[in-house]
């Protein structure tokens, strides 16, 4: 790696530390957010949580790694719904950790 690249990644490391500090402040102010989901989406998330993936992933491309990360985030939302979701007719209300809610928002963009 060149000296220029080393400096670039040092800046990225510093940026990541600032991002983490911001995250700590946000987490202290938000905790969980209450969301209302259509029953079908809630059931799909719970299915992702209950799915048993028996194989370790092979070497992955960046795209496949991102897909697996998204599936893992969905499964964590499914866990939250399983543990504390409340069905109200065709809607499920659940308090999501801000990180899970943020992951869902980022996936929608």
The full set of domain ranges for the chain reads 1-30, 31-108
pLDDT at site 29:
87
CA distance 50 to 76: 10
Query: 95: part of which helix (H) or strand (E)?
Result: strand 91-97
Among candidates 97, 42, 99, 29, which has minimal Cα distance to 69?
99
pLDDT of residue 42: 98
Q: Is the pTM of this model over 0.85?
A: no
CA distances from 12 to 17, 22, 46, 95, 98 (A): 9, 15, 36, 33, 24
pLDDT of residue 64: 87
Phi/psi zone of residue 31: left (φ > 0), alpha (ψ -120 to 50 degrees), beta? left
Task: Output the tens digit of pLDDT for each of the chain's 109 residues.
Answer: 788 888 998 999 999 999 999 988 888 888 899 999 999 999 999 999 999 888 777 788 988 888 989 999 999 999 999 999 999 999 999 999 988 999 999 999 9
* Residue 30: both structure tokens together: 């938000």
Amino acid 4: pLDDT: 83
């Amino acid at each position: 790696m060149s000296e220029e690249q080393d400096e670039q990644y040092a800046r990225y490391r510093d940026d990541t530390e600032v991002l983490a500090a911001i995250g700590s402040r946000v987490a202290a102010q938000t905790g969980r957010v209450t969301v209302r989901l259509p029953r079908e989406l809630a059931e799909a998330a719970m299915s992702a949580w209950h799915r048993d993936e028996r194989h370790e992933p092979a070497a992955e491309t960046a795209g496949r790694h991102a897909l697996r990360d998204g599936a893992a985030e969905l499964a964590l939302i499914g866990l939250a719904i399983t543990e504390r979701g409340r069905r109200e007719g065709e809607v499920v209300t659940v308090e999501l950790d801000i990180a899970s809610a943020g992951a869902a928002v980022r996936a929608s963009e």
